[in-house]
Amino acid sequence: MAPEAIDWLLSPPALAVLGLMIGSFLNVVIHRKPVMLERQWLTDAAQYLQDDQAMARVLGPAKGPIGQLAAVGRSLEADLQRLPALSLSKPRSRCPSCGHGIAWHENIPVLGWLRLRGRCSACGTRISARYPLVEALTGALFAAIAIKFGPGAATVVYCVAGAMIVAAALIDLDTTLLPDDLTLPLIGLGIVAAWQQWIPVSLPDAALGAFFGYFALWAVAALYKAVRHVDGMAEGDFKLLSGLGALLGWQALPAIILLSSVVGAAVGIFMIAARGHERSIPIPFGPYLAGGGISALFFGAALAKWFLQT
């Protein structure tokens, strides 16, 4: 492909349009990925309940409970098999209220939602404004990456990473889950991109970023559990910060942790004080890590300098 064509494909306007389309797909990922994971977990549990040897190890020689659990497992597995198949590509998007299939012109990023005035064309049920917001956010993020890094490999890497970060953050916000399918590829992407010199991060810095990103939060969580005897943070958060460290280098970690912790603490205090949020209900930390990571992507040098000065 000619250099001029590559420059055009990686230009801010072209990537803004691509980001809008990717954002539309991310809405599908955000909605369906947790359901797919939960179905798989239930399927695994159903099969485990039917494993007599496994149940015997757990329950001992008592035959009655083992037989009852196997029956529960068979019933659960049968119920799961009767559910319609679900993947990121099938079935096609449809209204959750009436089942109306979304036509192509209704699925145009942002414009489709505006044309429908935020309502299903068949039943009039309100469509969440988050759908066009995710599309617009992804488009703006892609364009901003193109402006900062120019038409090169770094732009491609950080656009791919940005899409995964947006999806992971919003899944965590909805479900307090950070899927390995999104966090682990971030780590691998950062290491490979640094190794191939696609991004302005050396391989040692990326490796140290991945290592310290994981174990910094692991140490905090271990200390919290030792003091409070409850889990204060999930392993998905460790992996997400590890991925950010691999993509941005270990130097970005202090600013990411500080920004995400300050904003997360402020939001948490507000939710408890103003909205009566129960202290025992976990507040997802992934969105704050994602925000800190994206801030470091664009303002990493300034943030590191500010952090060292303060």
Highest mean pLDDT among 173-177, 181-185, 251-255: 181-185
Domain ends where: 104, 133, 162?
Answer: 133
Q: Is 239 exposed, middle or buried (0-12, 13-18, 19+ CB in 10 A)?
A: buried
* pLDDT interval class at 117 (50, 70, 90): confident
Contact predicate 295/306, CB 8 Å? no
- Residue 42 has a pLDDT of 93
User: How much is the average pLDDT of 14-29?
Assistant: 95
Predicted pLDDT at 304: 65
Where is mean pLDDT largest: 35-44, 104-113, 293-302?
A: 35-44
3-state helix, strand, coil in the chain (%, to 5): 75, 0, 25
pLDDT-based confidence at 18, cuts 50/70/90?
Answer: very high
Residue 71 — pLDDT band, cuts 50, 70, 90?
A: confident
Tell me the residue range of the domain where 2 lies.
Answer: 1-133
Same domain, 17 and 129: yes
First-to-last alpha carbon distance for the chain, in angstroms, is 48
Please tell me the predicted confidence (pLDDT) of residue 145. Answer: 97
Give pLDDT tens digits for 129-152: 999 999 999 999 999 999 999 999
In the predicted structure, residue 116 carries a pLDDT above the cut 60: yes
> What's the structural domain count of the chain?
2
Cα–Cα distance for residue pair 40/34, rounded to 1 Å: 10
User: Does 21 share its domain with 107?
Assistant: yes
Distance CA 41, CA 37 (A): 6
Whether 171 and 293 map to the same domain: the answer is yes
157 and 125: one domain? no
In a domain, 143, yes or no: no
Rounded CA separation 17/135 (Å): 10
> Based on the domain organization, do 196 and 229 belong to the same domain?
yes
178 and 126 fall within a common domain = no
**Residue 44 tokens, joined:** 């695994």
Among the listed ranges 10-19, 218-227, 236-245, 267-276, which one has the minimum average pLDDT value? 267-276
Shared domain check, 278 and 159: yes
Give the pLDDT confidence of 277-287 residue by residue, as tens digits: 566 667 788 89
The residue among 133, 165, 183 that closes a domain is 133
More confident call, 265 vs 157: 157
| CB neighbours of residue 16 within 10 Å | 18
| 200 and 261 together in one domain | yes
pLDDT of residue 228: 77
Residue 118 lies in a domain: yes
Reported in sequence order, the residue ranges of 52-142 that DSSP labels E, i.e. its strands, are: none
